[in-house]
Amino acid sequence: MRVLLTGGSGFIAALVLDELLERGHSVVTTAVIHTASPFHFNIMDVQKELLNPAVIGTTGILKSIKKSAPSVKRVVITSSFASIMDLKQGARPVENPAAGYRASKTFAEKAGWEFVEKENPNFTLSTMCPPLVLSPIVHYLNSLDALNTSNQRIRDCMLGKWKDEVPATGIFIWVDVRDLALSHVLAAEKAEAANKRFFITSGHFATRRLQNNVDTVLKGWKQIGFEKSITDTVKSLQAVGE
């Protein structure tokens, strides 16, 4: 499968690229994986810096594929858990960067589905809707100041910025970017993923738990994880009476 990957220098896309190459796909086209979309809160104008780039970026690439790349059969777009959540309580000010980000992902994904419905292109669409994305980085950074938004909480914890107060968890579910990257590639590979949206998650998350894990690593402890503990326990119980 020959694949066009957008946003290839970004946090999620860098891992998607690794998965594509590891599975023998040529990157640069029978499928398109579109990951490029702004995700940061250091903005002055929500409309210009978040909403427009997300929506126009999505519709623009879909129009280009239909017009100039008839060989493309699959399109996978990185959306967000933000596009499927509904915050029924509280204000939703347009000038709020976090609310603006959620809106940008919602409107961009909606625009993608509307395009497929109205234009009836030769390709199918699949969208990935992850929550908080955490994982080691593989793309180049010149400093930790350039770290992607979701991993900044780990950086801040490592640098001691939580010593006075552990911040609120906020979104309490997460996914490892390596699992998310594989999900993108599988959606492009598998016919049954066509025209579906996927909520990809690894489970629950809390900042206090993150802090404990970071402290463990920094202090050189090597704790046994929950999964290994349960696996080893089950095996030991199975061996009873043998």
Distance CA 207, CA 164 (A): 14
Beta carbons of 133 and 179 less than 8 angstroms apart? no
- B/e letters for 115-153, b = 16+ CB within 10 Å, e = fewer, are bbeeeebebbbbbbbbbbbbbeeeeeeeeeeebbebbeb
All residue ranges of the chain with pLDDT < 70 are 8-9, 27-29, 36-44, 46, 86-98, 221, 223-226, 240-242
Model confidence, pTM:
0.76
Residues designated catalytic: 105
Domains of the chain with bracketed CATH: 2-140+173-202 (3.40.50.720)
pLDDT of residue 91: 46
Helix (H, G, I), strand (E, B) or coil at 49: helix
Alpha-carbon Rg for the chain in angstroms: 20
pLDDT of residue 36: 66
pLDDT of residue 188: 93
pLDDT of residue 97: 64
